[in-house]
Amino acid sequence: MAHTLSADDIREEFSQAMSAMYQQEVPQYGTLLALVADVNLAVLENNTRLYEQLANADELARLNVERHGAIRVGTAQELATLCRMFAIMGMSPVGYYDLSVAGVPVHSTAFRPVEDAALQHNPFRIFTSLLRLELIDDPALRQKAAQILAQRDIFTPRCRALMDIHDEQGGLTAPQAQDFVREALETFRWHRHTTVDKETYQALHQQHRLIADVVCFPGCHINHLTPRTLDIDRAQELMSDYGIEPKAVIEGPPRRSVPLLLRQTSFKALEEPVQFAGESSGTHTARFGEIEQRGIALTPKGRALYDKLLSEAGVGKDNLSHQQHLQEVFKAFPDSEFLLRQQGLAWFRYRLTPIGDAHRQAIHPGDDPQPFIERGWVIAQPITYEDFLPVSAAGIFQSNLGGDGQTRTHGNASRDAFEAALGRQVLDEFSLYEEASLRSKRRCGLL
């Protein structure tokens, strides 16, 4: 058959198309992109070490295209079909996040590329949540929501046909891929018209805002698209200058000399006009903007320490005092690449320098990389955290639910049910980082 486009190229096209669509739909997203571009430029101009580090790790090129988005779906079939759609773009489900513990009636995974080369090419990620209808306590309302969801198809017929073609042919030709990207985009478009009347919307909204958001529309609109900044504190400071009001506190770890995991902030969801079935109109708040700063991926040991310190620190009311408090609490977390490596708290990717390469025969499987690093034969680069944080995600959800943190819903972790809906198991993020680290050691002859 004719030449097929790679999954990496399809993902690249799709993420660009999604970004263009969201920029049209939510003009503040364009402002956010401008702000992040300004901040990143200033950081790179003033910090040549960081510039070189990013360039060496091949991260500079991806920085400008790097985005994550988020969607919420209502049924197992929708989730399983999304899994098929994202597979065509080289994205696999990684991680399981149970947000019901934070009073949000969903559980989630992140679709993202997993291979080193694919991540370098374009690390586009979609945080995808499945509504847990069983957490609606009124049985009649629960049944009604299920009925409404059963009637919709969030995928266009052409999109479904192209997914079949992809699976039969083992790929898509360039024109088919273009068609696929255009059709796939329709699933994530914003619709002003709800599929339900005002009363139904209000009843579902009353139960939980998120339930109304998932159930009442013909598609699963993308609710934010997040660029990556190199200095989130600066971005947070500048947001109001750009006419954007940030949420109160930056989620995640404090500012560090070796950035950890993921720090995030967002602006509040927009109140947007909607048209209910039966001609009455109203408003709906769902879509918002978010900025993130990514740092090093932690090992299970590092992550346990992070979780412990974060819960010790609690949640602050204003950002300044919260960050100061976090700084204090996180003094217990080593803050140098050497200590993070030595104590096995974070993941690194190893590379031979040209001198190291010339001395390959002196490096043996099982050798400690540290002396080689000190001799300039080996470079250890932090592995970037490519995933999400449940506490932060809950904070982002909450700040967009009007801040009242409707915590009436509750439920137990239900990973098996999620994977059954998805039609496969989610990948374990820790194994992915570990494998990346081991592969790099093997390439250096250290394993």
Q: Is 392 in the site for ligand OOG (CB under 6 A)?
A: yes
Task: Supply the DSSP string of 94-123, one letter for each residue.
Answer: EEEEE-GGGT-SEEEEEEE--SHHHHHH--
Of 381 and 399, CB closest to ligand OOG: 399
End-to-end alpha-carbon separation of the chain, Å?
Answer: 41
Which tokens hold the place of 248?
A: 């109160």
Segment 67 to 86, residues that bind Ni ion, using CB under 5 A: 70
Instruction: Give all strands of the β-sheet with 271-277 in edge-to-edge order.
Output: 193-197, 271-277, 281-285
Binding-site size, ligand OOG (CB under 6 A)? 12
CA distance 395 to 264: 10
Give me the least distance between CB of 174 and ligand OOG, in Å please: 32
Q: Hey, what amino acid is at 412?
A: N
Q: Is 231 in the site for Ni ion (CB under 5 A)?
A: no
Of 365 and 402, CB closest to ligand OOG: 402
Do the beta carbons of residue 258 and residue 382 sit within 8 Å? yes
**Distance from chain centroid for Cα 181:** 20
Among 59, 78, 290, 386, interactor with Ni ion by CB under 5 A: 290
Segment 241 to 300, residues that bind ligand OOG, using CB under 6 A: 264, 290
**Distance from chain centroid for Cα 243:** 25
Give me the least distance between CB of 289 and Ni ion, in Å please: 10
**Of 57-65, 290-298, 350-358, 413-421: span binding Ni ion (CB under 5 A):** 290-298
What are residue 229's phi and psi, to 5 degrees?
Answer: -105, 160
Q: Binding partner of residue 388 among Ni ion, ligand OOG, none, CB under 5 to 8 Å per kind?
A: ligand OOG
Closest residue to bound ligand OOG by CB: 393
Q: At 253, is the secondary structure helix, strand, or coil?
A: coil
What are residue 444's phi and psi, to 5 degrees?
Answer: -85, -5
**Of 7-15, 141-149, 233-241, 385-393: span binding ligand OOG (CB under 6 A):** 385-393
Among 19, 195, 223, 236, interactor with ligand OOG by CB under 6 A: 223
Closest residue to bound Ni ion by CB: 290
CA angle at 378 for the pair 373 and 383, rounded to the nearest 5°: 95
**Distance from chain centroid for Cα 128:** 9
CA distance 9 to 168: 19
Give me the least distance between CB of 265 and ligand OOG, in Å please: 10
Q: Is 396 in the site for ligand OOG (CB under 6 A)?
A: yes
Q: Is 187 in the site for ligand OOG (CB under 6 A)?
A: no
Of 177 and 396, CB closest to Ni ion: 396
Q: Provide the binding-site residues for Ni ion, judged by CB under 5 A.
A: 70, 226, 290
Q: Provide the binding-site residues for ligand OOG, judged by CB under 6 A.
A: 70, 72, 127, 129, 223, 264, 290, 388, 392-393, 396-397
